[in-house]
Amino acid sequence: MSEKTPAHSAYFPKIRVLATGGTIAGMAGSATRHEYRPGQIGIDDWLERVAEFGLAAHLSGVQIANIGSEDIGPPVWSALHSAIGDAMADDDVDGIVITHGTDTAEETAFLLDLTLPATKPVVIVGAMRPADAVGSDGMRNFVNAVRVASDPEASGRGVVLVMGDRILAARDARKVRTRGTDDAFRGFPRGSIGLVTPAALEWFGRPWREGEGARYAYSEAMPEVPILYMGAGMTAELVDRILPENPRGIVIAGVGEGNMPDAVRERLIAHRKNGLIVVRASRVDEGLVDREPEDDPNGFVAARALNPQKSRVLLMVLIANKEGDLNRVQAAFDNP
């Protein structure tokens, strides 16, 4: 573990930094080149770079991975979950910051939010531009994340994501742009739960999970859950192609409010007899999907405010926890 202690005697919060790679650790080799490689800067190097800002925090770092977040899944989730568990149990750690690629940060954040207690601040942060780019946002986002993780008020809010001077709750955070820095992420249905800059931090509202334990057990054995993205005129054969191994669950990124062609719906209903759990989400950016009367006879679940990728994470966790009761699955989506 690498450590950086500021040369002051006042109490500084102790922040554990868990690094996984992504653009925040990426390098282009030129300040103006568009192409770059994520996951190039190691945690020791990163903490050296941070030291020059003289933050009022004592940082210790652990390299969990150094990869693009498109490759993050159950193995890295397990390593992160276990490292955060250690940090939460360590009286010498006040808060945790995870550096992560932005592409799947919302999924990692939500998975950890579902499976960790809300007793210490856990902040996930990334960057839209590599570290050596003109106008790189990584160091500012990181300094903001350390400020949030250092604040006792951050605990009791579950995992939060810090990007573009905004604090978003894990269940709301969505990547909504592939370019740009300030507005690459948005909260839905709740917007920001706070604002942060290197100089100031402001929360909107009180913590809602104070002292709360983990809502679901974390399992190393995460099931495969596919997402089927609907387009006009899609056929039932697609369902057969995506369900060859009898997965326990599937998320439909439906048109409009989680809708799908009749033939697709009928084929999914037929698969229900094998215990398949079908969640109707929406491919629409800010899509709310409520239950409709046909969901009862069809045996479908409505994703409510969760987008398809977050619905998939929740369904994976529910299946790993052996939850098969559709009423309880629906209740989990009603209150994620």
Where on the chain is the footprint of ligand SIN (CB under 6 A)? 22-23, 38, 68-69, 101-103, 126, 128
Report the nearest approach of ligand SIN to the CB of residue 163 (Å): 10
- The alpha carbon of 302 is separated from its chain's Cα centroid by a whole number of angstroms, namely 20
Q: Which of 39/61 has CB closer to ligand SIN? A: 39
Residue whose structure tokens are 């001077």: 165
What's the min distance (Å) between Cβ of 38 and ligand SIN? 4
Q: Which of 174/248 has CB closer to ligand SIN? A: 174
What is the residue whose two structure tokens read 């573990």?
1
- Which residues are catalytic, by number? 23
Angstrom distance (rounded) from CA 55 to CA 262 = 58
Q: What angle do CA 136, 141, 146 make, to 5 degrees?
A: 140
Nearer to ligand SIN, 162 or 252 (CB): 162
CB of 177 to ligand SIN, least distance (A): 11
Instruction: Please say which residue, 126 or 261, places its beta carbon nearer to ligand SIN.
Output: 126
| 255 Cα distance to chain centroid | 24
In Å, what is the CA distance from 6 to each residue of 2, 52, 93, 136, 281? 14, 10, 16, 25, 47
Q: Is 232 exposed, middle or buried (0-12, 13-18, 19+ CB in 10 A)?
A: exposed
Closest distance of CB 135 from ligand SIN, Å: 14
Q: How far is the CB of 68 from ligand SIN (least distance, A)?
A: 4
d(CA 100, CA 310): 17
| Closest CB to ligand SIN: residue number | 101
**CA 310 to CA 121: how far, in whole Å?**
21
Q: Which long-range contacts (CB under 8 A, 24 or more apart) does 287-293 make?
A: 287/256, 287/257, 287/258, 288/189, 288/257, 289/254, 289/257, 289/258, 290/257, 291/330, 292/257
Q: In this structure, what token pair is assigned to residue 39?
A: 């996951």
Query: Residue 145: which region, alpha, beta or left (left: phi > 0; alpha: psi -120 to 50)?
Result: alpha
Residue 128 or 253 with smaller CB distance to ligand SIN: 128
Min separation Cβ 59 and ligand SIN, Å = 21
Nearer to ligand SIN, 69 or 115 (CB): 69
